[in-house]
Amino acid sequence: MARSKATFSGLSRDTARALFIKLPPSPRWRRRVTAVLLGIALLTCLGIVAFALVREMTIPSQSATAARSQPPAPPRPPLTRAEEAYIQALWPIHGEVERSTMRMSLGEIFYKIQDLSRAELQTRVDEALATYRRAERRLLALQPPLSLQRAHDEYLAAVRLFQKSAIEALRMFDDGSDDHLLAAHPLSLEGSNRIREVGAKFWPEEFPPN
């Protein structure tokens, strides 16, 4: 099961803009760009780890005091049968949406570093759009309990944002402009954020708090 936090839809707009700049076709350039991207990711991870270690060493007593002073979080109320049935029915739909989103996002990045052809990228986007449309039909067929109606509507809105993103990306194969990938990114990002909010309520193990 693909994890949402592993998708590339959460890239910032500036990062997306950098990735969506056409790169020279030289294999040497591709290796350099790939190395730079991996290096940035590694440095970011190391910075986060270092900050966490320093923070842990400098304020241990403060954290312990705060933990003792705060009352324990109330347990989540048990799900009703209707809520549990709905969440179970949503799970396979969610899995398909997440896998398609990851595959399409990776395809866009591989295309920009010349590791994926335009034809292969188009196939991925076409398949993702078909998945999103199928997910929309399945969501409309569900009957969520009143307590989950708002979450259901949010998830449906996210899937429709993914559809709009895929449709925008497909326009690049009509006029040849890669700018459509950049225009599609905010739609996909907003869809991912909405699914993350819903998923944190339904599957907290998959969407741990920040």
Position 205 scores a pLDDT of: 78
State how far the Cα of 164 lies from the Cα of 186, in Å rounded to an integer. Answer: 10
Task: Indicate the number of domains in the chain.
Answer: 1
Residue written as token pair 């991925």? 124
Helices 179-202, 149-170: inter-axial angle, 10-degree rounding: 160
Is the Cβ–Cβ distance between 159 and 129 less than 8 Å? no
Is residue 210 a part of any domain in this protein?
no
Residue written as token pair 């790939």? 34
Position 168 scores a pLDDT of: 97
Is residue 208 a part of any domain in this protein?
no
Burial of 64-84, coded b for 16+ CB within 10 Å and e otherwise, reads eeeeeeeeeeeeeeebeeebe
Closest CA to 125 of 98, 165, 93, 95: 165
Is residue 3 a part of any domain in this protein?
no
Is residue 86 a part of any domain in this protein?
yes
Position 206 scores a pLDDT of: 76
Is residue 4 a part of any domain in this protein?
no
Range of the domain at 68: 11-202
Is the Cβ–Cβ distance between 104 and 120 less than 8 Å? no
Q: Is 176 left (phi over 0), alpha (psi -120 to 50) or beta?
A: left
User: pLDDT tens digits, the chain, 210 residues: what are they?
Assistant: 444 444 444 445 555 555 455 545 556 656 665 665 555 555 555 555 454 454 455 444 454 554 456 666 567 778 899 999 999 999 999 999 999 999 999 999 999 999 999 999 999 999 999 999 999 999 999 999 999 999 999 999 999 999 999 999 999 999 999 999 999 999 999 999 999 999 998 988 776 665
Is residue 110 a part of any domain in this protein?
yes
Is residue 71 a part of any domain in this protein?
yes
> Which residues, 6 or more positions from 206, have their beta carbon under 8 angstroms from its beta carbon?
1, 3, 4, 199
Position 8 scores a pLDDT of: 41
State how far the Cα of 94 lies from the Cα of 46, in Å rounded to an integer. Answer: 32
Helices 118-141, 81-112: inter-axial angle, 10-degree rounding: 170
